[in-house]
Amino acid sequence: MNTQEIINFDRIAEAISFIKQNFKDQPDLDQVAEQVHLSPFHFQRLFTDWAGVSPKKFIQYLSLEHAKGILKDKQATLFDTAFETGLSGTGRLHDLFVNLEGMTPAEYKNGGAALQINYSFAESPFGHIIVASTVKGICYMAFADDKQKAFEELQHQFPNAVYTQVTDMHQQNALFIFRKDWSQLPEIKLHLKGTDFQLKVWDALLKIPLGGLSTYSTIAGEIGSPQASRAVGSAVGDNPVAFLIPCHRVIRSTGEFGQYHWGPTRKTAMIGWEAARSNTATIGS
């Protein structure tokens, strides 16, 4: 690091420490920027570059994790949770959970008990898969070399949901993606839960064309966080919908394919399979 980078790092470290100590007061941008002696505009840009999210989102994530900890106590009410988290009421608590967690506070408190999830197993060119959906769309898809273990991993995502083994229209539409004629694909709807940063990364993955490849640093630049390559890598690894959200199309800047949650051999096969169908493979700069 050069001298300016060290100064910037120290400022961000101080800002993060201040936010962690004071997030229950829900400090605004001006208050945090003043703490590190920067203008709000400069601080916003600097913090986002280093942390991968805005100061506001960082406070929201801390608030969410604190609220989740409180809600694990089955005696805690939503009102108490909102108050203890520094939010003005249950309405803001509801918005926080829906926007960042993909479910309401009550659904989280009940472990996803309000969710009805259909799931089924199917064949793909790359092995068995498990695909799951809610009424809103596909919520999970993974390669299932061991069907029982695959179902247990799905249950871990939504521990108290009600599961039915049945193939519905959302799943059928999703499975069409393995057809050769991609121009005839129906609309595929997704029902995802994740942080704002994760959703940005997953959205960027969806924009990588069939047969195309990108890098972690390219994705970081595309979502406006050029310093956040490592965070991008974590978000790519947390992708809950295999193949549909094409995390397999992200490789290292050296040109190496790198690791893959479902095995590097499978990743190599997927990249080759897609390249053969598109007759092109371009790597983002």
131 and 209 in one domain? no
pLDDT value at position 129?
A: 95
Q: Which CATH number covers residue 102?
A: 1.10.10.60
236 and 142 in one domain? no
131: pLDDT confidence band, cut at 50, 70 and 90? very high
158 and 64 in one domain? no
Higher-confidence residue of 98 and 37: namely 37
Tally Cβ neighbours within 10 Å of residue 209: 14
Domain count, the chain: 3
For 253, residues 6+ apart whose C-beta sits below 8 A from its C-beta are 215, 216, 217
214 and 133 in one domain? no
**Does the structure show a pLDDT above 80 at 198?**
yes
Average pLDDT in the chain = 82
**Does the structure show a pLDDT above 70 at 184?**
no
pLDDT tens for each residue of 251-285: 988 888 888 888 888 999 988 888 877 764 444 44
Nearest-angstrom CA–CA distance, 276 and 19: 50
127 and 102 in one domain? no
pLDDT tens for each residue of 59-99: 888 887 888 777 776 567 777 777 777 777 777 776 767 66
Q: So which residues are the catalytic ones?
A: 247
Residue 16 to residues 41, 55, 85, 167, 269, Cα–Cα distance (Å) = 17, 9, 17, 46, 42
211 and 145 in one domain? no
State the average pLDDT over residues 202-220.
90
Domain residue limits at 151: 116-184
Which of 116-120, 222-226, 227-231, 276-280 has the weakest average pLDDT? 276-280
Residue at which a domain ends, from 159, 184, 209: 184
Q: Which CATH number covers residue 120?
A: 3.30.160.70
Residue at which a domain ends, from 86, 109, 132: 109
Conformation bin of residue 86: beta by default, left when phi > 0, alpha when psi is -120 to 50: left
DSSP state of 24: G
Q: Is residue 189 part of a domain?
A: no
pLDDT value at position 112?
A: 56
pLDDT value at position 185?
A: 55
Q: What is the pTM of this model?
A: 0.60
Residue at which a domain ends, from 109, 127, 161: 109
Backbone torsions φ then ψ of 162, nearest 5 degrees: -95, 125
Q: Which residues pair with 61 in a beta bridge?
A: none
* Three-class DSSP category at 131: strand
Q: Is residue 190 part of a domain?
A: no
144 and 217 in one domain? no
Higher-confidence residue of 228 and 282: namely 228
Q: Is residue 285 part of a domain?
A: no
Q: Is residue 40 part of a domain?
A: yes
263 and 170 in one domain? no
pLDDT value at position 150?
A: 93
